[in-house]
């Protein structure tokens, strides 16, 4: 007799919705440049942990949602997220084996790539160049990555997300 297995997909959806909420959460104007790329971090985690379930289509859809929430050009964050998820998919087995500090360095470099693509595409659409502190978000993403990785990994194990 077959038992119906639950995949606990709601954990993935809830984590992505929380990442979207944190992406639009109001911050003082002076702190805007230091806002982490929450959706990038959460999407990257699920692409590493469940690479067979979470792919480019998911990254594209959630990037479109971020574009709609932020009021940016439609497809800007989607394209950047798809590039990062593509690279993560190529290296997900290797990244899983890295210690946390090396994963943080990897996510920091992927964050620089993500921010560079977003900057490049927003400059093409006519937005002014941000200040030099725009790049601090990549450093903050690298610092937050081990903590977010451990939190999402423990949630994935507790709720048996497969």
For residue 33, the model assigns a pLDDT of 84
Q: What is the pTM of this model?
A: 0.93
Domain that holds residue 61: 34-158
Residue 23 included in any domain? no
Nearest residue to 46 (alpha-carbon basis) of 62, 34, 24, 35: 62
For residue 6, the model assigns a pLDDT of 65
Residue 1 included in any domain? no
Residue 75 included in any domain? yes
First vs last C-alpha separation in the chain:
21
Residue 2 included in any domain? no
For residue 1, the model assigns a pLDDT of 45
Residue 104 included in any domain? yes
Q: Which residues of the chain have pLDDT under 50?
A: 1
User: Could you give the number of structural domains in the chain?
Assistant: 1
Nearest residue to 87 (alpha-carbon basis) of 109, 58, 62: 109
In tens, the pLDDT along 32-46 reads 889 999 999 999 999
In tens, the pLDDT along 115-143 reads 999 999 999 988 887 888 889 999 999 99
């Amino acid at each position: 007799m077959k038992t119906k297995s639950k995949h606990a997909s709601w954990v993935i959806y809830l984590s992505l919705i929380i990442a979207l909420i944190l992406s639009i959460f109001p911050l003082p104007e002076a702190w805007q440049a230091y806002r982490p790329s929450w959706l990038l971090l959460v999407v990257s985690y699920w692409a590493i942990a469940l690479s067979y379930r979470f792919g480019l289509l998911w990254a594209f859809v959630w990037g479109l949602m971020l574009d709609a929430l932020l009021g940016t050009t439609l497809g800007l964050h989607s394209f950047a997220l798809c590039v990062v998820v593509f690279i993560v998919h190529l290296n997900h087995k290797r990244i899983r084996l890295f210690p946390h500090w090396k994963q943080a360095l990897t996510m920091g470099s992927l964050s620089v790539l993500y921010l560079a693509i977003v900057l490049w595409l927003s400059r093409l659409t006519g937005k002014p160049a941000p200040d030099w502190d725009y790049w601090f978000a990549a450093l903050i993403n690298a610092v937050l990555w081990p903590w977010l990785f451990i939190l999402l990994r423990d949630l994935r194990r507790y709720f048996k997300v497969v």
